[in-house]
Amino acid sequence: MQRFLARNPSLRTKRPRKIDSARVNGATSEVIRPWFNYLAIPAIRAILPENRWNMDEYGLMEGLGSNGLVVGSSEVRATQKKQPGSRNWTSFVECVSATGQFLPTTVIFKGEYVQQQWFPIEKSEYKDWEFTATEKGWTNTSIAHEWLKKVFIPRTQPRVPSHKRLLVLDGHDSYTHDDFMWICFQNNIHCLYLPPHTSYVLQPLDLAVFGPLKGAYRKKISHYSLLTDSSIVGK
């Protein structure tokens, strides 16, 4: 084995992706295969690719960088590693279509309300984004309804009003609430929920967007923590 690794040094640096046991056990062929039968339902098959949308929410902890080794003295029982963060959670809601179109980002801060000091002076780059705040920093029933009415429904109107839309999303309580599904029903939107604990296999946004985002963010935070001793990475 040592000779094999010597000839293939790149294998030394690879680390396994950490996945909860519930997610591993949930993403089985017995669970996933029947889910694809929903895509074969005539009403779903008739929906045009431009009207097929996938949404997902992802959270980042402010100032939390990547895991790594901390070198310290063997005479000290514990070694501390500085993290330039406030440990607050900020979530992002993204939505993309099967044809590559995407909706403005919705940002959910942790707090009672959105504050001006959280933003840069120049905000033109984010003029179409939606900003809100919740107690935990992630979505709830109220935020889900607001996203539907202010972002998704008005910005994804089919070219032919009678055409239906498909929204692929996970089974979070906020999205399976009766009011959420009723709003979708009223607007000819079919909801297709991913099976529990399968997002790391089936969720396009989780694999193609949020994964690289998480890696890039943690790398930046780790680099930043080496350059400063006092500045906190905030919102």
Q: Please tell me the least confidently modeled range out of 32-41, 92-101, 218-227.
A: 218-227
Structure letter (DSSP) for residue 1: -
List of E strands, 83-197: 89-97, 106-110, 130-134, 165-169, 189-193
Backbone phi and psi for residue 26, each to the nearest 5 degrees, phi listed first: -80, -25
The structure tokens 């999205």 sit at 175
- What is the distance of C-alpha 179 from the center of its chain? 23
192 HSE (CA, 13 A, CB side): 21
pLDDT in tens, 179-197: 999 999 999 999 999 988 8
Q: In DSSP terms, which residues pair with 93 in a beta bridge?
A: 57, 106
Query: Model pTM?
Result: 0.75
pLDDT in tens, 120-165: 888 888 889 999 999 888 889 999 999 999 999 999 999 999 999 9
The structure tokens 């963060």 sit at 85
Local structure of 153: helix, strand or coil: helix
Query: Cα dist. 97→40, 46, 64, 173, 184 in Å?
Result: 19, 15, 31, 23, 17
Query: Cα dist. 92→69, 108, 205 in Å?
Result: 29, 6, 11
pLDDT in tens, 52-63: 999 999 888 876
